[in-house]
Amino acid sequence: MSQQQYAEKPGAEQDEPSEKYGCLRFKPACLQRMNTIKVHVFWQCVFCFFEGFIVNGVINVVLVALEKRYSLPSSRSGLIASANDFGSIICSVLFGYFGEKRHKPRLMGTGILLMAAGSLVFSLPHFIGEAYKYKVSADVNASTNICHLDDNVTDTCSTRAAADDTIANSVVMYYGLLMVGNILLGIGAAPMFTIGLSYIDENCKAKLTALYIGWTFSSAAVGVAAGYVVGGQTLSLFVDIDKVDPASVPLTPADPQWVGAWWIAPLIATLGFLAVAFPIYGYPKRLPSYKEVQKARASEAHGGNDELTAKVNFGKSWKDFPKSIWFLVTNPTYVFICFGAAVEALIIGGMATFGAKLIQEKFNVDITYAGTVMGIITIPGSGGGMLLGGYLVKRFNLKCRGIIRMCAAFMVAACLCGPFMLAQCPNDPVYGMDSPYMQGSPASGLVSGCNELCGCTTEGFEPLCAQGIIFFSPCHAGCTDSITIDGKKTYANCSCLANATTALSTNTSPSDVTSFQPGKCSGSCPWLYVFCAMFLVTMVLTFATMSPGVAALFRCVPDNQRSIGIGVNLLFVRLVGKLRFETFHMLNM
């Protein structure tokens, strides 16, 4: 290990950029209190909060609402979630290479403004589209999905095909806007997570890098939690709350046809990005502490390429790009750090995208509750883990070798927790599908003597529950009446109820169950608590490697390759880890 030398060249003072905080020529003395690495890290934390809020929080929790609102299959919604990675994959490498020797705060501010535009575009489908059309009638005494014994219900193929064509044409535009919005979010975040991290590293002491990066990553984790909570709460509001009177809507959040106000949270993120972009713009190319920090650094880079990459003109043209990549891929320490980050993405990527939906399906809870649970787990899990990792590096003043060993131990422990997260609650049987309509008779489908004259369809799953008994829809339960009391919809006069109570419970009489509540049955299941506890432990162990991993990456490459190093690392993680896991998880939902 040799001390890096920084010789002053003749005329360097004239070429040295201003180290004062401000915009253009407006750089008053009162603003120079902000011109420190700690205050800059604060603004990066604010940015990371809103980035985590929208990208990994809100978008993930509103996927179910988007699927219902725009008739999207899980494969399409999975692509929406991955669109952020599509935008950042190439841009991370480009910003990492060309941004290293340019004005980093200005590039970061521009990226943040681009993210504000992306959040706005993501919410546009709601404002340019028509009001949501649901199947349940607004008339409290009528429903399109109850038993109509006197009606000859028909649904011709031509009528259905025409409706499907109309929906398909409009969905293409909305789907495109959702994709474009998330791609812009990915492109805009690329500067902050490449040159932004190297800006922190080059302006602070080596032992503080992991701690400061841990602060920023923890802020992103808190943002994710806030996104899940806020997104879950906004989903309890009707999607067209700005277009119709919510009191006139007969649906409730427990109704399978309910679509929440998914578009509110992206607008909040837009305002947040606008608020943080301009303070970031004001920072100089280098903070006043830069020279002192660099003189105290000792190189831990592998391969001895410091002298070549430290040349003034290295990295300013395309001809040096292949050399930069070659130095990275021939650095074994760097390559193994990238593989470790990819494994980390395999563990976290799919759960971050489909975590709320997974909890909803595995434990029979509504999406609002599932989003809240994910938010509660995310704050101490991911945020606490990253703070723990950064603190341990600072506390023990770990070098590159020690950081890598610590991260490896955490990852092994996280993998051992995996089997415990297979826990799930048993699904209540759907009457006519999982259980026969008559006791002792084979399950023969959804049609029985109690509903064969109702003209029921199977186009939409609209479950009803009564004491653990689930019917496919009010029509399949033989219900002829629907009643709304205090905004809650119930169904009555259900002819199939007697068969259900006879078949599923000999101790339950029809008089005990006089009406059905929309939605699946909710019950106590201790496995939810087991799942949450082990998921929390796994998150702490996994996220404890993130900020130390970045610090180790910065130590094992030459200084002028820090940004391109983190950019290629992000490219590798998204290609090998996160994208592949999300695609696999998406196909198995």
The CATH number that applies at residue 90 is: 1.20.1250.20
pLDDT of the residue at 102: 84
Where does 203-263 have alpha helices with state H?
Answer: 209-234
What are the backbone angles phi and psi of residue 503, rounded to the nearest 5°?
A: -75, -35
Pair (417, 434) in one structural domain = no
Q: What is the distance between the alpha carbons of residues 134 and 139, in angstroms, rounded to a whole number?
A: 13
Pair (464, 575) in one structural domain = no
Task: Write 357-361 long-range contacts (CB < 8 A, 24+).
Answer: 357/63, 357/64, 357/589, 359/528, 359/531, 360/64
pLDDT of the residue at 114: 96
pLDDT of the residue at 278: 93
pLDDT of the residue at 487: 60
Q: Which has the closest alpha carbon to 140: 491, 460, 471?
A: 491
- Identify whether 300 is part of a domain: no
Pair (390, 506) in one structural domain = no
- Identify whether 147 is part of a domain: yes
- Identify whether 127 is part of a domain: yes
- Identify whether 27 is part of a domain: no
> What separation in angstroms does the CA of 120 have from each of 57, 114, 267, 568?
16, 10, 6, 29
Q: Which has the closest alpha carbon to 504: 425, 438, 426?
A: 438
Angle, CA 23 vertex, CA 20 and CA 29 arms, to 5°: 45
- Identify whether 363 is part of a domain: yes
- The residue among 487, 518, 549 that closes a domain is 518
pLDDT tens series, the chain, 589 aa:
444 444 444 333 443 456 889 887 888 888 889 999 999 999 999 999 999 999 988 998 898 899 888 888 877 887 888 888 888 877 888 888 888 888 999 999 999 999 999 999 999 999 998 888 876 544 444 455 677 765 544 444 444 444 444 445 668 889 999 999 999 999 999 999 999 999 999 998 888 999 999 999 889 888 988 898 899 899 989 999 988 888 888 887 877 788 999 999 999 999 999 999 999 999 999 998 888 887 777 777 766 555 555 555 565 667 778 888 888 888 999 999 998 888 777 767 666 667 777 788 788 777 778 877 877 887 788 888 999 999 999 998 898 989 999 999 998 898 888 787 788 887 777 776 766 555 444 444 677 778 888 878 776 677 877 666 788 888 888 888 877 666 667 777 787 776 655 444 444 444 444 456 677 776 667 888 888 888 889 889 988 998 999 999 998 988 888 889 999 998 888 776 555 555 554 444 4
Pull the structure tokens for residue 126: 């709601």
Q: How many domains does the chain have?
A: 2
- Identify whether 3 is part of a domain: no
Pair (401, 273) in one structural domain = yes
pLDDT of the residue at 54: 96
Fill in the amino acid letter for 48. Answer: C
pLDDT of the residue at 135: 66
pLDDT of the residue at 440: 43
| pTM listed for this prediction | 0.73
- Identify whether 161 is part of a domain: no
- Full residue range of the structural domain in which residue 461 is found: 430-518
pLDDT of the residue at 443: 43
pLDDT of the residue at 8: 41
Pair (261, 191) in one structural domain = yes
Q: What stretches of 340-458 adopt beta strand conformation (E)? A: 430-431
Tokens 């996994």 sit at which residue?
Answer: 542
- Identify whether 13 is part of a domain: no
Pair (376, 333) in one structural domain = yes
Residues of the chain by 3-state class (helix, strand, coil), percent to 5:
60, 5, 35
Question: DSSP assignment, residue 30?
Answer: G
Pair (145, 38) in one structural domain = yes
Cβ atoms of 374 and 356 within 8 Å: the answer is: yes
Pair (420, 345) in one structural domain = yes
Q: Which three-class secondary structure state does DSSP give residue 516?
A: strand
Helix (H), strand (E) at residue 195: helix 195-202
- The residue among 502, 518, 534 that closes a domain is 518
pLDDT of the residue at 513: 43
Pair (87, 224) in one structural domain = yes
Fill in the amino acid letter for 304. Answer: G
pLDDT of the residue at 524: 64
Pair (500, 355) in one structural domain = no
Fill in the amino acid letter for 69. Answer: R
Pair (203, 244) in one structural domain = yes
- The residue among 477, 498, 518 that closes a domain is 518
pLDDT of the residue at 473: 83
Pair (354, 417) in one structural domain = yes
